[in-house]
Structure 1
C-alpha cells in the first residue's frame, strides 16, 4: 500500500495510477491519495495502514529522502515515518490493546484517527478524523501509533450510547490491568463526557472495580511480605468523642494506618472538589496529631511498586517504638 506521492516517487505517473485503479484493475484507491496494490477487500491491517497514510503527513517521509526514490539495496525507511501526526484511537485502538469487549477490526465501518486540531482533513471512507488540541504520546503496537488506553477509551465512549457497552469497556480497562481508574476518569472529564448519565453510571462501576482490585493488592502485600496482620476496614473514634474517619487497614499496637486513595478520580465528578479534599486533609492531620501514622497508598503504587510500598509500611511499623505513645482510640468495624 502506497500513497500517490510515494508512487510518483517510484516513477508511476498519476495517469498510470488512475488507469490501474479503474474497476477491475490491478489496484484500487482505498482512500483519497492511498492506493492498495492488489484487487479484492483490504485486510484489517491494510485498513489501519491506509487510515494512517491518509491522515498522516506524507511529507514526513519525503523530508528524510528529499523526494528521491529509494535506491536498490538502500536502507528501508522506518515504517512510522509517513504516519507523523496521526494516531489510531477509539474502538480500533482498544482492539489493538487486546480488549475482548472491543469489536473485531474488520467489523468496524470506520477507524478513528487523531490528528492535530489545525489539520484540514475530512472524514471519508473507513477513516473518521478526530481533530484535537492535545495529541497523546502514542504507543507502538504491531508497528502502528496507537493512543494509550485511557485516551482510546474516552474517544470510544464519545461515540457510544449503549450503557452496557460503555460499562463493559471501562470495567475491562481496570480488571484487565490496562490502566487505573484515575487515568480513565481524567480523560473522560477532559472530553466532557461525565455529564452523560450512562457514562456516570459506568464510572461508578469502574471505581468500585478499581477499589476491589486495590484492596486485593493490599491484602496480598501484607500476606506475601510477612507484615503483621492488621484489622481491616475499620472506623476510629475518640472514647465518647467524635468519629475520626474510616481506614482500610490499622495496626492498633503500632498506631499505623493505611488508607487507599481510590477516591482520587472522583474529584472529576464533583463540583465541591475543594470541600472533599479539605475534609480528607483534615482527617489525616487530625489522626497524625493523635500520634497515628497514616500511610497513603494509591492503586497505581500497589500495581507498579508493591515491594516498595511494603517497605514503606514496614518502616512505619518499625518506627512505632521510637514515637510518643498515640492517643487511645476506639476501633470499630466499618
Structure 2
C-alpha cells in the first residue's frame, strides 16, 4: 500500500454544507483538497472565495459578520494549524485553535453587548489582538493589534441579534472590556463617542473605572484631550454608581442609618477629612475607595494614596474605626461588605470611647 496516496475526498459541496463555512487552506488540504483545487474553486464567479490570505469562504456572496470574525482569527493562526488528514465520510473539522489571538476594539465591545458600539456589519475591519512578536500584517478585514501582555479572553457566541448565526456556531475569543476599550479608543477621535463608550462600561456594569483608566494609561492615551475629558466623565459616573450601591447596601442589609457625606473636625482644631458615611454613636467611618490613576502621571496618584493613609491613621488614633470599601466589592460582594460594616458597628461597644469630633455636611 502506498502511504503517500492522498485520501479520496468527498464531493466538495459537503464541506460548505457542514457546520463551518470558513476553513483555512491547511484544513482543506486535510480534506484532500489540493491547492490547485482550492484556487479553481475560488476563481471569479466560483463557489468559494478567498476571504483572507490562507482563509477560504465556502460559499459565494458576502460573508456574515460571524464568518468574518472567525476568518480574521483563522488568519492569525493559519500557520500554526496542524494539517491532520480527515477520513473519508468524516464531518468538517472542529473549530480551529486560534492560539493566543482574540477579537478586541469596537467589535469586541459590540460582542460584550455595548449599545454605543457600532453593529458588526457596519465595521469594515475587526481588530485582532496578538502577541507582540507575531509576524503578521493587517490585511482585508483583519487589523492586527500587538501587545507584550495578552489578557485572558472571554469566549462569546455571536448573538442572533447581531448577525445571522448558524446552528452550532463556535464561540469567539474576545478581549476583556478594559482592554477592548483601550484598543477602541486608540482609533477614535470623536470625544462624544469615546465618552459614550467609557460611560457605558461603568453604567452597564461591565467593569470598574480603575480598570479602564489603568488600560488607557498603559496604552499612553491619557495625553489626548478628548480622552482626558471622557475619563473625567467615567470617574464621575463610577463614583455615582458606587454611592448608589452604598445606599442600597445600608438599606437592603438592615444597617443603621449613618450621616452621609460629611466632614470631620476636631473642636476648634484642624480638618480631619471627608467621609462617605459616618455613624457618630459607634465612631465608625466609611470611605469609598475610588482611587484611580489620573491624567498627569504617578506623583498625583501617590499623593492620593498618601492622603488616604494619613486620614485613616489620624482618625484611628482618635478611636474612630475606618472601613474602606471598593466599588468592585459593592458590586460583586455586597453582602460581605455589609457584614464588615456590621462587625465594625458591633465591636464599637467593646472599644474605649472615641475623641469628640465635630460632624459637618460636606
Q: Shorter-chain TM-score: what band?
A: over 0.9
CA deviations 1:73-127 (Å, max 9, x no partner) are 7697652x43112110000000000000000111101100011111110000000
> In the alignment, is residue 151 of structure 1 matched against residue 179 of structure 2?
yes
What SS is found at the alignment partner of 1:308?
A: helix
What SS is found at the alignment partner of 2:137?
A: coil
In structure 2, the residue matched to 1:107 is 122
> In the alignment, is residue 121 of structure 1 matched against residue 151 of structure 2?
no
Alignment TM-score, normalising by the size of structure 1: 0.95
1:280 deviates by 1.6
CA distance in 1 between partners of 2:103 and 2:288 (Å) = 34
1:316 deviates by 0.2
In structure 1, the residue matched to 2:164 is none
CA deviations 1:274-297 (Å, max 9, x no partner) are 222112211110000000000000
Alpha-carbon distance change, 268 to 115 in structure 1, aligned in 2, over 3 angstroms? farther
1:263 deviates by 2.2
1:20 deviates by 1.0
CA distance in 1 between partners of 2:121 and 2:295 (Å) = 38
| Unmatched tracts of structure 2, length 5 or more | 1-21, 158-170
1:55 deviates by 1.1
Alignment TM-score, normalising by the size of structure 2: 0.88
1:223 deviates by 0.3
| Residue pair 1:149, 1:178 contacting (<8 A) in 2 also | yes
Map 1:143-222 → 2, pairs under 5 A: 143-222=171-250
Alpha-carbon distance change, 77 to 226 in structure 1, aligned in 2, over 3 angstroms? farther
Alpha-carbon distance change, 57 to 291 in structure 1, aligned in 2, over 3 angstroms? farther
| Residue pair 2:31, 2:85 contacting (<8 A) in 1 also | yes
CA deviations 1:192-234 (Å, max 9, x no partner) are 1111111111000000000000001000000001100000000
Q: How many residues align?
A: 328
RMSD, aligned CA: 1.5
Alpha-carbon distance change, 191 to 283 in structure 1, aligned in 2, over 3 angstroms? same
* Residue number among 263, 266, 280 corresponding to 1:235 in the alignment: 263
CA distance in 1 between partners of 2:128 and 2:224 (Å) = 23
CA distance in 1 between partners of 2:336 and 2:296 (Å) = 28
CA distance in 1 between partners of 2:313 and 2:221 (Å) = 34
* Residue number among 104, 110, 114 corresponding to 1:95 in the alignment: 110
| Unmatched tracts of structure 1, length 5 or more | none
> In the alignment, is residue 42 of structure 1 matched against residue 63 of structure 2?
yes
In structure 1, the residue matched to 2:162 is none
Alpha-carbon distance change, 252 to 74 in structure 1, aligned in 2, over 3 angstroms? farther
* Residue number among 250, 268, 277 corresponding to 2:305 in the alignment: 277
In structure 1, the residue matched to 2:85 is 69
CA distance in 1 between partners of 2:135 and 2:314 (Å) = 56
Q: Greater helix share, 1 or 2?
A: 1
| Residue pair 1:186, 1:268 contacting (<8 A) in 2 also | no
